[in-house]
Chains A and B, each alone.
Chain A
Amino acid sequence: MLVRLSAAIAAVCLLGSGALAQGAAKPTDPQIAHIAYTAGVIDVTAAKQALAKSKNKTVRSFAADMVRDHEAVNKQALALVKKLHVTPEDNDTSRALTKQAADKRTELAKLSGKAFDRAYVASEVAYHKTVNGALETVLIPSANNGELKSLLETGLKVFQGHQEHAEHVAAGLK
């Protein structure tokens, strides 16, 4: 998943570097809002799959934390785009993220027990690492609106915590 997601992020990076080359095409605020929101929805969906499949207390509690936090951040994001009169705009990166997440879900659906727990948590570590990298290097620097930038920065702080949390859970499953 990391590799595939990195490809998606590379697409964002290309958009970014294209912007430098052509003086256009870095992700716009409506696109950034869409990417960030999509990334949140993906993690909530993954967590719900884990809640449906896992019996491990630590994994379930981690998944519940993901649902709670990502829904809270996305609620805030929706309120912000409404306030700013911004309509999130679908884009290639969002579509790539959604497609890869669906593939991952199918892959995880075939697993059960400890194999599922390990694969889910490993995927969460990789996913948060990739999303955090994209936030740091592409999305936050590209955001024009101050409030959007600030929400993305809060998101980054939250998701860095998730990454550490996921790494900790992963270590406990070995």
Chain B
Amino acid sequence: MSPRRCLFAFAVVVLSAMKAVSAHAETIQIVMDKLVYSPVDVKATVGDTIEWVNSDILAHTATARNGDWDVTIAAKKTVSLVLKKAGAIDYYCRYHPNMKGRITIAPK
């Protein structure tokens, strides 16, 4: 195989692999409404995207207790995060510490 053909074959493999990943990865929505995460308990897999939709008139955060991530979502905005590590993550809102949620992330 010439170097050029080899590169092409490699690119095809990489692209198909990427396609396979994106086909399997899911987007999971968690709505923040009246200071509650809904659903409050979510099951996901590494590679999935969590989409926090803030329906409130207040800013919120989704802050992992173990420090893995800290996402700020302004009022009436949506912010996404791709899950990169497996584990059971408890998270909360730094601005409203009574808001609590959990995402259980299975390895791929």
Contact = CB atoms under 8 A, between A and B. Distances in A.
Contacts of A154: 34, 56-57
Interface of A: 61, 65, 68-69, 72-73, 75-76, 154, 157-158, 161, 164-165, 168
A68 B57 contact: no
Interface string B78-98: 000000000000000011111
A153 B40 CA distance: 22
What band does the interface of chain B fall in when counting residues whose beta carbon is under 8 Å from A? 10 to 19
A72 B57 contact: yes
Contacts of A165: 96-98
Interface string B6-46: 00000000000000000000000000001100000000000
A83 B97 CA distance: 33
Contacts of B98: 161, 164-165
A39 to B, nearest CB: 16
A64 to B, nearest CB: 8
Contacts of B35: 157-158, 161
B97 A158 contact: no
Contact of A76 (B57, B59, B94, B99): B57
A165 B96 CA distance: 7
Contacts of A164: 98
Instruction: Name which of B35, B57, B99 has the most chain A CB atoms within 10 A of its CB.
Output: B57
B71 interface: no
A72 B34 contact: no
Contacts of B94: 61
A168 to B, nearest CB: 7
A164 B92 CA distance: 15
Interface string B48-79: 00000000111100000000000000010000
Contacts of A68: 58-59, 95
